[in-house]
Structure 1
Amino acid sequence: MNVHTTEWTMISDLTPESAYRTTGPGSAVWLLSWLPDRLLTREQALAGMELDEILSDPRGVHDHHAQSEASERADILDILWEQAVILLSKQILVRLRQGSGAEPNQADGGSEPATTGHTLRSHRVSLHPRGPVYG
């Protein structure tokens, strides 16, 4: 995994997604850029970042071990890996529209992604029954 963590942030060399620490109750003080409506524990935020990296690797499409790892990370977040694919795909669409100057709309899931100031990269995505294939 290429998730780089500090006391306040988590970023990836492979994807534009991030997690950051915020204020909140107890240990649930982390937010994921692709799951911004849920306060998470540090363990859940890291699992979300790792899930994104697993789903971002095209070699994992036919790799049963990678699929199992993705499912385990999704379980930590209490979501299905298929939900993660949809949420991550929506984030890609938002970034592509922002890069082209087009305004995102509600029908396309156009919510503003949370960022921590690092460069956002655009990706091409092909959906596969076992997860997205980014290019």
Structure 2
Amino acid sequence: MTIDITHREMTSDITPEFARRAQREDVWSLSWLPEQRLTRAQAHAGMELDEILSDPEIVFDDAAHSEAAERAARLGIPVEHAVVMLAQRMAERMHHDDLIPYGTDAELPESIMRGWYVGTLPPGALSHATSGARSQHLWA
């Protein structure tokens, strides 16, 4: 994991996500979790979590799953929520121009989100909601 940290920003050489510090405050936010006000340590944990979840080699790595769960706990969110938020950000980037105006609450097409739990969708909107690409039991 390589996270570059300055006094105002944290960036990764693995993912396009970032963390930024608010002007004249010691409050940070993550690009993929913008509504949460975070400490510097929490923002760093969020960047590490993003890098862990971005690595396809760890799908069956229990140690990496434990690390991801620990980083998510520092943020006060379940790992499944992080997976969904990061997948939504990826979908926004992939389909930005023709599907999802940036910064809106536009609903993602079902084919993109199939298999992801999104709490704001109406019941039955997706045929089988799960916690994502990785088996839910691995995150226990």
**Which residue in 2 is equivalent to 1:36?**
34
SS at match of 1:127: coil
Query: Which of these residues, 99, 102, 107, is aligned with residue 98 of structure 2?
Result: 102
Using CA pairs below 8 Å that are at least 6 residues apart, which structure has the higher relative contact order? 1
More strand by share: 1
Pairing 1:1-135 to 2, within 5 Å after superposition: 1-23=1-23, 27=26, 29-98=27-96, 101-104=97-100, 106-108=106-108, 127-129=133-135
Distance in 1, Cα, partners of 2:84 & 2:72:
13
Gaps of 5+ in 2: 110-131
Give 2:93's aligned amino acid: R
2: CA distance, partners of 1:45 / 1:36:
11
TM-aligned CA distance change 1:24 to 1:38, over 3 Å: farther
Q: How far apart are 1:59 and its partner, in Å?
A: 1.2
Aligned residue identity for 1:127: A
Question: Size of the alignment, in residue pairs?
Answer: 110
User: Which protein has the larger Cα radius of gyration, Structure 1 or Structure 2?
Assistant: 2
Structure 2 residue aligned with 1:113 = none
Q: Give SS of 2:95's match.
A: helix
The structural deviation recorded for 1:24 is: 7.3
Whole-angstrom distance in 2 between the partners of 1:23 and 1:6:
13
Secondary structure, counterpart of 1:84 in structure 2: helix
Percent of matched pairs sharing the same residue:
45
CA distance in 1, matches of 2:37, 2:24: 8
Q: Partners in 2 of 1:67 and 1:128 — Cα distance?
A: 10
CA distance in 2, matches of 1:103, 1:24: 36
Question: Pairwise CA RMSD of aligned residues?
Answer: 1.9
For 1:103 and 1:64, how far apart are their aligned partners in 2? 36
CA contact (8 A) 1:24 1:39 kept: no
Q: Give the superposition deviation at 1:39.
A: 1.0
